[in-house]
Amino acid sequence: MTAQLAVLTREDDPPEPPAEPGVGLRPLDLGELHSSLSDPTLASMGLLNEVTERFPDAVSFAPGRPYLHSFAPNEDLPRYLRAFTDYVGAEKARTQLFQYGRTKGLIHELIAANLAVDERIEADAESIVVTSGCQEAMFIVCRALRSDERDVLLAVAPTYVGMTGAARLVDLTVVPVRSGDDGIDLGDFVAKITEARDQGLRPRACYLVPDFANPTGISLSLSTRLRLLDIAADHGVLLIEDNPYGFFGDAMPTLKSLDRHGVVVYLGSYAKTVMPGARIGYVIADQPVTGGGTFADELAKLKSMVTVNTSPIAQAVIGGRLIDCGFDLRAANASEIAFYGGNLRVMLDGLAERFAGTAGVRWNQPGGGFFVVLSVPFHVDDDLLEYSARNHGVIWTPMHHFYGGRGGYQQIR
Ligand SMILES: Cc1ncc(COP(=O)(O)O)c(C=O)c1O
């Protein structure tokens, strides 16, 4: 044993003192763990939840948490579960709910029915992988696209930290593409593809939230969507469309529903339209892969080594909700949609009332969704957030988190 240890130790390192009984392991060296762990991106998601929990009485504009007050846990959860078990039958439900399950999920057909009603997306159910939150979908897509260090992901900046974080976990470099007022600057998109290729890199895909984006609230016009699809196809770059907020406002047709080239990988989530507690998301990946099968089949292989399969009980709750509302979640969410729309109006009116004409203060006017961006004439960072929570009882999100620390220091989401 000692001889083996001696072989593993580098010659110039001093020999490690033997661990004293009862003393245990030395602290793990952060510098020897994966580099993402030292990257502030990974702390962003936790920070907002942590501040929200530390100041529970503060008015929180910080995380994109849905309003769930209409749910009655003791009534709604059993009703959804029953709707699901009635739908599949008691015998099948026993196996489906209590057993390990199909890696791609068990509510794929229900999701396909929901997508047809709510988004006019005609998805082959076999091309859907049900994931543990949309977050897992982001992770497995990044993992699949990153084959070596030449692969890069383009992403409209500012970018949702869930995606930059997922990319970071697999050492997939993210190249920012300017958002501008259109939600994506198409000239910059082409320039970034060209620049990357000139440097010997492979831009694999571009990530964006085309409807009421997180964090900007901006939506792409129909003409921008159509041009974007053509450009992506012409340049052989996939588009990763993430659509958790399209519901909450008058959204344009999704990129996926407009896609005639097969370039869109669509990420979905039931976190805002049903409940985040179920942790159900999905990815539609119908792109063929050489050797047979689809991108969804390949993603499922990765998923099988991450979460094996998404909790069938959580899937049954969401599946039951879809059955319960006749697959028309948009209609079932009418009061939530009105509630968020009302909040948005109060926010925009309140800003106008208080800050119209104030030098250096500007904000955008999203048509829906959860987010508004406010530009201010002072430095905004996490310390200021803490100060605001403590002294004013108001929590918001510093925008620098969405720029990977490369900007946004005078903006609040
Ligand atoms: C842009 C974006 N994508 C996806 C999600 C949902 O992710 P999940 O389903 O993992 O909760 C969110 C939630 O905040 C989001 O803002």
Predicted TM-score of the model (pTM): 0.92
Give, using CA atoms, the residue closest to atom 16 of ligand 1: 214
pLDDT digit string (tens) for 187-214? 999 999 999 999 999 999 999 999 999 9
Query: In angstroms, what is the span from residue 297 Cα to ligand 1's centroid?
Result: 23
Cα–Cα dist 223/204, whole Å = 23
Strands of 128-132's sheet in order across: 128-132, 280-284, 264-269, 238-242, 202-208, 151-157, 173-178
Query: In angstroms, what is the span from residue 67 Cα to ligand 1's centroid?
Result: 15
Indicate if the pLDDT at residue 354 is higher than 80. yes
Q: Is the CB of 244 under 6 A from ligand 1?
A: yes
Ligand 1 nearest-atom number relative to CA 160: 1
Of the chain, the percentage scoring pLDDT greater than 70 comes to: 94
The crossing angle, in degrees rounded to 10, of helices 222-235 and 186-198 is 10
pLDDT digit string (tens) for 23-48? 678 999 999 999 999 998 888 888 87
Phi, psi (degrees; rounded to nearest 5) at 267 = -105, 130
Pick from 111, 130, 140, 214 the residue to mutate for probing ligand 1's pocket: most ligand atoms within 8 Å of its CB. Answer: 214
pLDDT digit string (tens) for 262-288? 999 999 999 999 999 999 999 999 999
Name 301's Cβ contacts closer than 8 Å, sequence gap at least 6: 103
pLDDT digit string (tens) for 222-258? 999 999 999 999 999 999 999 999 989 988 999 999 9
Mean pLDDT calculated for residue range 334-340: 93
Mean pLDDT calculated for residue range 68-89: 92
Mean pLDDT calculated for residue range 166-181: 96
Report residue 183's pLDDT band, with 50, 70 and 90 as the boundaries. Answer: very high
Q: Is the CB of 64 under 6 A from ligand 1?
A: yes
Q: What is the mean pLDDT of the chain?
A: 93
In total, the chain counts a number of residues equal to 413
Give, using CA atoms, the residue closest to atom 7 of ligand 1: 134
Name 198's Cβ contacts closer than 8 Å, sequence gap at least 6: none
The reported pLDDT for the residue numbered 23 is 66
The reported pLDDT for the residue numbered 22 is 61
Question: Burial level of 129, CB count in 10 A (0-12/13-18/19+)?
Answer: buried
Query: In angstroms, what is the span from residue 214 Cα to ligand 1's centroid?
Result: 9
**CA angle 8–12–14, rounded 5-degree value:** 80
Report residue 14's pLDDT band, with 50, 70 and 90 as the boundaries. Answer: low
Cα–Cα dist 314/277, whole Å = 9
Q: Which residue has the tokens 């979908």?
A: 137
Query: In angstroms, what is the span from residue 345 Cα to ligand 1's centroid?
Result: 23
Cα–Cα dist 93/95, whole Å = 5
Helix (H) or strand (E) holding 343: helix 334-355
The reported pLDDT for the residue numbered 192 is 98
Query: In angstroms, what is the span from residue 212 Cα to ligand 1's centroid?
Result: 13
Mean pLDDT calculated for residue range 316-336: 96
Indicate if the pLDDT at residue 9 is higher than 50. no
Number of neighbouring beta carbons within 10 Å of residue 391: 8
